[in-house]
Amino acid sequence: MRSKKTTRDFGTDSYAGPLLEVNDVATHFKTPRGLVRAVDGVSFTLERGKTLGIVGESGCGKSVLSKSIMGLLPPRNVVRSGSIRYNGEEIGSAKASEMAGIWGTEMSMVFQDPMTALNPVMKVGKQITESLRYHLDVSKSFANETATELLRSVGIPEPARRVSQYPFEFSGGMRQRVMLAVALACGPKILFADEPTTALDVTIQAQILDLLDEQQRERFMAMILVTHDLGVVAGRADEIAVMYAGKIVEKAPTRALFSSMRHPYTEALFKSIPKLALPSHSHLESIPGRPPDLVDPPAGCRFAARCPYAQPICTEVEPPLIQQDELAHVAACHFPVGTEAGNEALARNKAAGVVAADSKVGG
Amino acid sequence: MADKVKVEKAATKKLGIAGVLSLAWMTFVSLVAFLAPWLPFDDYATSHLEALKVGPFIAPGFPLGGDQRGVDMVDKLVWGIRNSMMVALGAIALGFLLGGTAGLIAGYFKGKVDTVITGAMSMLLAIPQLVLAIALVAVLASPYIGSDGMNQFPSNGRKMIVLIFALGVVTAPVVGRITRANTLVWSQRDFVLAAKAQGAKNFRIIFREVLPNVAPAMFSIALLGIAVIMVAEAGISFAGAGLPADVPSLGNIIVGGQSLLLLGTPHIVFEPVIVIFLTVTSLNFLGDIVRARFDVREAAV
Amino acid sequence: MRALARRLLVLVVVVFFVSLFTSLLIDLTPGDPAASVAGFASEEQIAVIRHDLGLDQNVFVRFGNWTKDFASGDFGNYYSVTGSRPVWDQLKPALPVSMFMMVYAMIITLVIAIPLGVLSAYKAGSVLDRVINALAFGAISLPNFAFGLILIYWVGVKGRWLPVGGYVSPSENLGEHFRSLALPSISLAAGQVASYMRLLRSDMIQTLQEDFILMAKAKGMSARRILWMHALKPSSLTLLTVAGLNIGALIGGAVVLEIVFTLPGMGRLIVEAISAKQYVALQSSVALIAFFYVGVNLIVDVFYQIVDPRVRNG
């Protein structure tokens, strides 16, 4: 009864390669309208202790991607393909029963809304201890002490009293801290943080992000931080992948991305970040248009219809992800931002009064 | 021609096979109930010696067999369905008249009126409905000793009316609660508020604006209610307070056939049981369809 | 706490009106109630009974006396040719029969409905789920007396496996006690199983789509643990609501099934009281059932507060 650990042991640190290798992963949903290509061929690697930021608008597939990597999507009506290697072991097609040995202990997840992601009728202490007791087979008193310690470490005051309270007795920010404690209980090697601060007040957001940072450093834990806000990952991620319409359009070390972003979509996202240096009420550029229909994505570059750089070729030939001037910096664009070709394309469009491939100024 | 086929097909698709069967069964049962006096059926008092305690499909001319007195089960069931339907329809009509009105008034006017009406409904709901119905029928239609010192038996007509009254009274608070909950929702809608602002009279608003919107919920409740009342009628018959044996109902046919069931002759009991089961299933099914079609919210009781 | 106090106040009002109503039931009978209750008796005897029933006093005095008597455990008299005896003498043996039957039906209901509801919610849309649902739909449409009669015929008359009538008390013979109540309890439970199961299923399907279920999965909890520890408890509120709504049907069903299975319970008592025109016995039985019903509903309410921490502390 107690031997709940699966026979497969993913905890080996002897594997010298990256902690997580994602190769050409696709996740499609079967719907009455047709196959929705929510994630369509994504590759990246994640080293131990590092942070990858995945950024994109809502509906770009970033949340689906993290759930797909963790194997948390319901099996019905979902088609997954590609390879996911954790510690060198292929888990891309593992069944839920096999993944149970990974969930909680190797990979864990923090969800967007702390109001709904904690069980409303279970004491928070129990929500922490149950995975400890389940996975690590520790005594009840040890689990309880660990729970209190965890709550203390995520910054909950009076943790010994709070363990026996229910989620509704906590504020939103405190709940997010509790959720982090729950996710961290069994010492996962990778934490997926899916929009961990979106549902919170702006003042609380920074606190939670700092807490994530701090916990990650202490535990030497890798993290995939999913957000729609380029500002959130700016100072925190080691590497950033920008996703658009199910694909990674640009990926680079954080510094390189911000210093020389190449994809027009990244640039557009960057222009939409509120900046403290600017006076309030200054104009934020929103990105015109909508993401394409993922049932029937357009040919060529998927961003072309909204892109100020777009040229005829963009709607015909899909640009490959190619290396830019710095190593590990890749982008998928025919006319990269800041390059000669890009500048020419932009100038040409401006001259013609074209804002994007499918729209004209005033038209 | 082609168009007509298409329309029918569409209707079939929406109802589903079970829905069509339910509708067909209810149409059949209703027609039998309505037309019984004009259909070529025997009086349910006519005995046939050759049908005495005979099971179905044995004696020629008696497809459903005969009862303990040799009455053709077909005749008996036809009149039983008619009487049970009369009771059920009468009771649901009364329940809607009382409960529906009370629910509309309570939900529309709110405040003190609502408190009083809701309170009254809670009172009625404080006694299990079947027990309340049995008690009411028992006292209202009991035989009594008249001033001449002789036993006076209530007439069959009085028994039927009392039965309808008792079942209507226990139905009313259930209908009332659901109507009230729906009225509460609808009377907050913009078009109702707009009508109020234009100075329309309350009763006009209730009938013109609120009632038509509450109607689908009430209709689905009516379908379920008829089913529940048919079953309750049988329950009252078991308690010995139902219609007398010379007025066959689905309930008292079952009660009357019980002793033969124990002796191994089950058809007198099972034939009306099957009729009740099919009717209740059909009504439940149609009620579900109505609810789904009109997106009726579950009443917030 | 305030909600509970309010509830208690409502309870007092309800009990008052229920008492008033049942104590005056006898006035609804046609003719002279005293004469009806007495049966064929002499004028003097009828006069004595009339005084006994308080019919010679006004309604309010009668209601006051009735309440006082009822509260002190005097449920009136049962009059017959051989003389009068307290109604309590008949209630006392009848109560446990009905109680046992309802408790057993409740146990059967929960033991079957909860696993079935959880299973069909977990496997929603599967063949298994559809079969369970179709059966439940049928069971809801089959009145419990009909189920009882079917069991009587196939299990009792044809198979002769279980008794189809009569009651054995547990102190007499425990095994026979269970056997005597097996068919009635199962008949009573059948419809309840279906309604509990259907509501639990639809509630669980919603609960299973909640984020906290995904969170539990991401923590590596097994499917079984998620179903039973995480999903069932929030849905148990629904179960309690169903329980509250269904108690009336349970009592009504028990009354009818006691008659079908000739069990000497409350239902049987009511039938006898009606046929012997013993309205006092009828009043007392109805009042007892009503108070029991109100009491159980109160208990359900209190449970509701205990189970839901938000209500409890809010």
**Residue that has been written with the tokens 């009411």 in this structure:** B136
Q: Check whether residue A193 and residue A316 sit in a common domain.
A: no
pLDDT of residue C235: 82
Count of all residues that appear for chain A in the document: 363
For residues B247 and B241, what is the distance between their CA atoms, to the nearest angstrom?
13
Residue A185 forms part of a structural domain: yes
Residue A361 forms part of a structural domain: no
The angle subtended at Cα C67 by Cα C64 and Cα C70, nearest 5°, is 150
Q: Check whether residue A155 and residue A232 sit in a common domain.
A: yes
For residues A269 and A292, what is the distance between their CA atoms, to the nearest angstrom?
17
Q: Which DSSP category does B197 fall into? A: H
- Give the E-state strand segments of chain C in sequence order: 77-80, 83-86
Task: Report pLDDT digits (tens) over B12-65.
Answer: 446 788 889 999 999 999 999 998 888 877 777 778 877 777 778 777 778 888
Fold of B2-300: MetI-like fold (1.10.3720)
Nearest to A131 among C210, C219, C310 (CB): C219
Contacts of C101 by beta carbon, 8 Å cutoff, 6+ apart: C181, C184, C185, C188, C254, C257, C258, C263, C265
Confidence of residue C127 (pLDDT cuts 50, 70, 90): very high
Which range of residues forms the domain containing residue A58? Answer: 20-243
Q: How far C242 CA sits from the closest chain B CA (Å)?
A: 12
Distances (CA, A) of A80 to A44, A89, A93: 16, 17, 8
Residue C221 has pLDDT above 80, yes or no: yes
For residues B192 and C72, what is the distance between their CA atoms, to the nearest angstrom?
54
Averaged confidence pLDDT in chain C: 88
List the CATH number of the domain containing A73.
3.40.50.300
Number of Cβ within a 10 Å radius of residue A267: 21
Residue C312 has pLDDT above 60, yes or no: no
**Residue that has been written with the tokens 């309505």 in this structure:** B34
Q: Which DSSP category does A19 fall into? A: S
Final residue of a structural domain among A243, A276, A309: A243
User: Is the alpha carbon torsion for A97, A103, A104, A105 positive or negative?
Assistant: positive
Q: Check whether residue A225 and residue A77 sit in a common domain.
A: yes
For residues A19 and A200, what is the distance between their CA atoms, to the nearest angstrom?
30
C211/A117 Cβ within 8 A: yes
Q: How far C298 CA sits from the closest chain A CA (Å)?
A: 22
Chains A and C touch (3+ CB pairs under 8 A): yes
B131/C286 Cβ within 8 A: yes
Task: Report pLDDT digits (tens) over A103-137.
Answer: 988 999 998 888 889 998 889 999 999 988 888 88
Nearest to C218 among A72, A122, A169 (CB): A72
Interface ipTM: 0.90
Nearest to B126 among C18, C142, C152 (CB): C18
Residue A9 forms part of a structural domain: no
Nearest to C219 among A76, A113, A182 (CB): A182
For residues B67 and B61, what is the distance between their CA atoms, to the nearest angstrom?
14
Q: Are C163 and C180 in contact (CB under 8 A)?
A: yes
In A56-95, the residues whose Cβ lies within 8 Å of chain C are 70, 72, 76
C29/B144 Cβ within 8 A: yes
Number of Cβ within a 10 Å radius of residue C229: 16
Q: Check whether residue A122 and residue A220 sit in a common domain.
A: yes
Final residue of a structural domain among A243, A277, A298: A243
Nearest to A116 among C212, C225, C310 (CB): C212
- Give the E-state strand segments of A145-301 in sequence order: 190-194, 222-227, 239-244, 247-253
> With an 8 Å Cβ cutoff, is B299 touching chain C?
no
All residues of chain B having their beta carbon less than 8 Å from the beta carbon of residue C31 are 144-146, 152
- Number of domains present in the structure of chain A: 2
Task: Report pLDDT digits (tens) over C144-174.
Answer: 999 999 999 999 888 888 888 889 999 999 9
All residues of chain B having their beta carbon less than 8 Å from the beta carbon of residue C21 are 123, 127
Closest-CA residue in chain C for A6?
A: C220
Interface test with C, best of A30, A121, A150 (most C CBs within 10 A): A121
C214/A111 Cβ within 8 A: yes
Q: How far A290 CA sits from the closest chain C CA (Å)?
A: 27
Averaged confidence pLDDT in chain A: 86
**Helical axes C174-207 vs C127-141, angle rounded to 10°:** 120
What are the backbone angles phi and psi of residue C60, rounded to the nearest 5°? -70, -40
Based on its alpha-carbon atoms, the radius of gyration of chain C, rounded to whole angstroms, reads 24
Q: Check whether residue A270 and residue A239 sit in a common domain.
A: no
Residue B208 C-alpha from the chain's centroid? 27
What are the backbone angles phi and psi of residue A55, rounded to the nearest 5°? -125, 140
Q: How far A79 CA sits from the closest chain C CA (Å)?
A: 19
Q: Check whether residue A218 and residue A307 sit in a common domain.
A: no
Q: Which DSSP category does C28 fall into? A: G
All residues of chain A having their beta carbon less than 8 Å from the beta carbon of residue C222 are 4, 100, 134
All residues of chain C having their beta carbon less than 8 Å from the beta carbon of residue A104 are 218-221
Fold of C93-313: MetI-like fold (1.10.3720)
pLDDT of residue B69: 81
Q: Interface partners of C (3+ CB pairs, < 8 Å)?
A: A, B
For residues A40 and A270, what is the distance between their CA atoms, to the nearest angstrom?
24
Q: How far C26 CA sits from the closest chain B CA (Å)?
A: 7
Residue A360 forms part of a structural domain: no
> With an 8 Å Cβ cutoff, is B215 touching chain C?
no
Residue A251 forms part of a structural domain: no
> With an 8 Å Cβ cutoff, is A156 touching chain C?
no
Give this prediction's pTM: 0.83
C255/B131 Cβ within 8 A: yes
Tokens of B104: 């509309």
Distances (CA, A) of B237 to B162, B241, B265, C179: 13, 6, 20, 27
Residue A224 forms part of a structural domain: yes
Q: Find the mean pLDDT for residues A52-76.
A: 89
